Structure 1
Amino acid sequence: MGRLFWKFFIFFWLAQVTSVIGVGGAMWLRSPGMERFRAPQSSAVAAAASTLRYGGPEALRWLLREQSREPAPSVFAVDENNRDILGRPVSETMLVQANQIRGSQDNFGSAEKVAAADGHTYLLFAQPPSYPRLDGRMEPPPHDRGMLPPVMPLLAGGVVSLFFAALLAWYFSKPIRTLRAAFAAVSNGLLDVRLAPVMGSRRDELSDLGRDFDSMVQRLQQLMDGQRRVLHDVSHELRSPLARLQAAIGLARQQPERIEDSMMRIEREAVRMDTLVSELLTLSRLEAGMMGKLNEQVDLNELVSDVAEDARFEAAASGCRVEIEALSRAIVRGNAELLHRAVENVVRNAVKHSPSGGLVAIKMQKNHNQTICITVSDQGGGVPEADSYAIFEPFFRSAQTKASDGHGLGLAIAQRVIIAHQGEIYARNHPGGGLCITINLPVGLAA
C-alpha cells in the first residue's frame, strides 16, 4: 500500500471514530438513569391510581405488595399525614421530589393525587427500585451506580469504521496507483497502454482522469506515428533529388561537353530540395504553434485577388482560366502572410490539376453565422471519396495524382493555417466533375 492509501485510511478512520465517540458520549451524557425509568414509573403510577379509584385502599395495598416482589419501580401512596399506605418510611426529600414532578410539565403521569373512597387523598409517586422494599433488598439508584460509557457500541463502531475507512482508502488509491503505473509505462515508450478497461464502470473524477490520460496517450501515439511517417516521407522525398544530383555530377565528369545541361539539372534539383525544406520548416512551425501574431486586419478581397492574379500567369501555361467572384467587404483578423500562403496553396493545387481549357473558379461569400466562405473549384479528375480528408495529411498523394505533382505539403500547410485562425477547411468532389475546396474563416477574429 502506498502513502496515499495510509493517509486516506488514517484520516477517514479517525474521523469516523471521533464521530462515533462523540455521538455515543453525547447520548450517554444526555440519558441519566432516572430518565431511563420514566416509562415504567408512569405505567406503575397509572396502574396504582386506577386500582385506588375503583378498588379502594385494600386493593391498592394488595397491588403494591405484589409489585414489591418484582424488579420494577416502587410506587408510594402517601396520605395527608405523609404516611405511606404500606407503612414504609417516606423521607421529606421524596415528598418534595414527588410534588416537583407532579407540578412539572414533563410529568408524564409519574406522580398524581387521587381521592379514595375512605375519604383520604393520596399522593401517588414512583421511585426506581433503589429505595427500601418490603422484601428487605436495597439497590442503589441508577444515577448512583457509577455507570460506565457504552463500551461495546463504541468498540463495534470503531471496528466497522476501521473496515469502511480501509475500503474507502483502497477505492481512492487503487486508480491512482494504476495511473502511476501507466505513466511509468508511457515514459518507457509503451504508448499502447489504456486505462478505460481498468477503470471499469467507475463514474467519478478519477475515471475522468483515466479517460483524459487515454486521450493524451492516443494523441501522443498519433503524433509519434506521424513523426515517424514524416521522417520516412522526408527521406523518401530527399532520396530522389539527391540521386539525380549524384547522377548529374557523374554525367558532368564523364561528359565535360554537356556540363551546361548537368548544371541546369543540379540547379533544378537544388531548388526542388530547397522548396521541400522550406515547406517542411513551415509545417513544423505551424504544428508547434509558432505562427506569430494573429491580430492583423486582413482584407480577404485584396488577398484573394492577389493570389488569383498570380495564379493566372501559371494557368496561362497550361491553357486554363482563373476567375474570381469577390465580396464588397471581407475583413478578418489574423496573419496576412500565413493566410496568403494558405489560399495560394489551395489555388495553385486547383490550377495544377485543371485540364487544358479548364476553369478554376474562386468564389467568396458571407454566411449567416458570421463567417466568410472561400470556395476554390477546378475541373480536374477530383479525388476518391475515401481520400477527401487524407489529402490534408503531409506527403499524401491520391492514386490519381501524378508523381511529379509536388511533395504533398501544400494542402497540409493550408489546413493548419486555417485551423490556427479558428476556421475550417474541407474538400468534396464537385457534382459536375473536379474538386471543390471550401475555406470558412470567422469575421472579426479576436487577437
Structure 2
Amino acid sequence: MGRLFWKFFFFIAIAQITATFGVGVLFWIENLERNSHSSEIDLSPPASFMIRSAAATLQFGGAEALRSLINEGREHRLKLYAVDENMKDLMGREVSPKLVEEARAVLKTEKGRRVVELVKAANGHSYLLFIPAPPEEFVGPGGPGPGGREPRRMRDRGPQPLFFPSMPIVVAMVASMVFALLLAWYFSYPIRHLKNAFAQAASGNLDLELEPVMSSRSDELADLGRDFDAMTAKLRTLMESQRRLLHDVSHELRSPIARLQVAIGLARVQDKDKLEITLERIERESVRMDKLVGELLTLSRLEANVPGSMEENIAIQPMLADMINDASFEASANGKHIEGQIDCPVEVKGNPELLYRAIENVLRNAIKHTALDTTVQIHTQVDEVNKLLHLSILDRGPGVPEDELNSIFELFFRSSRTKSNSSGHGLGLSIARRIVEAHNGFIRAANRKDGGLRVDITLPFMADEPAKGQTLDA
C-alpha cells in the first residue's frame, strides 16, 4: 500500500462520508420540520366534506339540526366540534383551548378554509366548526380497535419524539469506506506496476512488459501501460542499434589502424627506396579513416535531427547536371558510362549540400558496382498531381538478393554479392536514406529484370515551378 493508495482512499472516503452525513442531516431537518408543523386538526378530504355539510346544516337548519347531525356522526366515530365565541361546544363537551386556537390558526390558511368553517347561526352565535385528528386506528379481522393488525390511518396528534438518523449514517459510512477501499485499490494497483516498471527500466532492464498485467483493463491506465511497452521496445531497438554501431565502427577502424601500425613498423626497418611506397600506404589508410569518421559525423547529425538549415530552395535540374558531369570523369576513367535524361524544372525545399551528397552517394555506388563497358542511367519524372519528383538511378551490376533489398540502407551493411570486392564502409546508402527522409521523401531499391539494381528516390517539390527545363545526355 503506497502513498497514492492512501490519498485515493482518504479523499474518496471523505467525499462519501460528507455526502452521507449531509443527506442524513437533511432527513433529520425534514423530520424536525414535519414534527413542528404537525396538526391536531383533521385535514383529510372526508373531514372537509363533513365540515361543509355541517356548515350548511347550521346555516339553513339551525343549531338543533346541527346537533342531530353531530349525534348521527357519533355512530360513525366522527367527532365534530361546534364551538362558539365563548369557547363552549354546542353539545356541551369539554374542548381543549389549544385545539380551538389551532383550529382558528388553520382557518387563516388557504387549506384551512376547507376543513375549518366559522358560521354565524340564527341564534346570534358564531360557531367554529372543525374535526380533531383521529387517533391511530387499525382494521383487522376483529374490526376497529387495538386487536387489529393492518393499519388504516396514521395521524400525528402532537409533536413526536425527534431522532437523529444515526444508524443509516453509520451503515452508509461503512459502505463508503468499503467502496473507497476498493476504488483506491483499483486505481493504485496498476500504478504500482507502472512504478515498478519504470524503476526496472531506469536500472537497465527493458524486458519487463505491462501488457500481460493490464490486459484485462480498457482504460487510460491500460493505454499508458501499452505506451510504456512501446517505449521500452523502441529503447531496446535503439540500444541494440547503438551497440551494433559501436561494434561495427570498432571493426571498421580496427583494420586500417592495424595496417597503419604494420606500415609504420615497416617504415622503420625499410631502406629509403621502399619508404615511399610505405608512406603512400599510410596516407591511403589515413584518408580511409578520415572518410569513415566524416561519414560517421554526418550520420550522427542526421540521427540527432540536426541536419542544418532545411529552408533553402534547391533547383534539382542544375544540381543533377553538375553531378552527372562530375561523375562522368570518374566513370570514364574506369571504362564505364553515365547517361542522364533529366527533365525536372522543379525546386525542393531543404539543404542543398546534404541532398547533393545523398544523390551522389547512390550514383557513385551505382558506378562502383556496374560492370565494365556498361552505362549507369539517371531518369527523372515529375508528378504534377501529387507534387512529387521521382528520380531513378539504374546500373548493370550484380544486383542484390531479394531478401537483402530492405537491408542495404542499414548501417555497415554489405551485400553478399559485393562484399568480397567492396572497399566501402556500408554507410553511403544509410546516409542517403536519412537525408532523403529528412527532406520528407523516401528511397527504395529493386532488382532489374535484365540484371542490375534500380534505386528510386521520391521527393516532394514546391508548388511554384521555374521555367521549362532541358534534357541532358552525358
Stretch of structure 1 that moved more, 339-348 or 208-217? 208-217
Q: SS in structure 2 opposite 1:144? A: coil
Q: SS in structure 1 opposite 2:397? A: coil
In the TM superposition, 1:144-223 aligns within 5 A as 144-223=159-238
Alpha-carbon shift at residue 339 of structure 1 (Å): 0.9
In the TM superposition, 1:297-312 aligns within 5 A as 297-312=313-328
Q: Quick one: structure 1 residues 395 and 122, their matched pair in 2 at CA, closer, same or farther if it must change by over 3 Å?
A: same
2:27 counterpart of 1:24: no
Q: Quick one: structure 1 residues 423 and 30, their matched pair in 2 at CA, closer, same or farther if it must change by over 3 Å?
A: farther
CA contact (8 A) 1:77 1:85 kept: no
For the pair shown, which has the larger CA radius of gyration, 1 or 2? 2
2:102 counterpart of 1:94: yes
Structure 1: runs of 5 or more not aligned? 65-74, 114-120
Aligned AA (1:435): L
Match of 1:424 in 2: 442
Q: SS in structure 2 opposite 1:127? A: coil
Distance 1:301 1:47 in 2: 107
Alpha-carbon shift at residue 17 of structure 1 (Å): 1.6
1:389 to 406, 418, 423: 406
Distance 1:358 1:86 in 2: 139
Distance 2:177 2:285 in 1: 77
Distance 2:91 2:211 in 1: 83
Distance 1:23 1:17 in 2: 10
Match of 1:234 in 2: 249
Alpha-carbon shift at residue 26 of structure 1 (Å): 2.6
2:352 counterpart of 1:346: no
In the TM superposition, 1:232-271 aligns within 5 A as 232-256=247-271, 257-271=273-287
Stretch of structure 1 that moved more, 225-234 or 5-14? 5-14
- TM-score, normalised on structure 1? 0.81
Distance 1:110 1:155 in 2: 44
1:77 to 75, 80, 101: 80
In the TM superposition, 1:30-109 aligns within 5 A as 30-31=30-31, 32-33=33-34, 46=46, 60-64=73-77, 76-79=79-82, 83=89, 87=93, 89-91=95-97, 92-100=100-108, 103-104=110-111
Distance 1:407 1:337 in 2: 21
2:394 to 377, 384, 406: 377
Stretch of structure 1 that moved more, 8-17 or 429-438? 429-438
The number of residue pairs the alignment matches comes to 415
Aligned AA (2:402): E
Alpha-carbon shift at residue 226 of structure 1 (Å): 0.7
Structure 2: runs of 5 or more not aligned? 54-68, 118-126, 137-144, 147-154, 464-474
Alpha-carbon shift at residue 189 of structure 1 (Å): 1.0
What are the superposed Cα offsets for residues 401-434 of structure 1, whole Å, 9 maximum, x if unpaired? 2234211001111111122222222222334433
Q: Quick one: structure 1 residues 61 and 238, their matched pair in 2 at CA, closer, same or farther if it must change by over 3 Å?
A: same
Q: Quick one: structure 1 residues 299 and 78, their matched pair in 2 at CA, closer, same or farther if it must change by over 3 Å?
A: same
What are the superposed Cα offsets for residues 236-259 of structure 1, whole Å, 9 maximum, x if unpaired? 112222232233334444543432
Q: Quick one: structure 1 residues 229 and 122, their matched pair in 2 at CA, closer, same or farther if it must change by over 3 Å?
A: same
Aligned AA (1:89): V
Q: SS in structure 2 opposite 1:277? A: helix
2:145 counterpart of 1:127: no
What are the superposed Cα offsets for residues 161-190 of structure 1, whole Å, 9 maximum, x if unpaired? 222222222222222222221121112111
Q: Percent identity?
A: 44
- TM-score, normalised on structure 2? 0.76
Q: SS in structure 1 opposite 2:445? A: strand
Aligned AA (2:217): R
Aligned AA (2:16): Q
Distance 1:128 1:302 in 2: 111
2:408 counterpart of 1:408: no
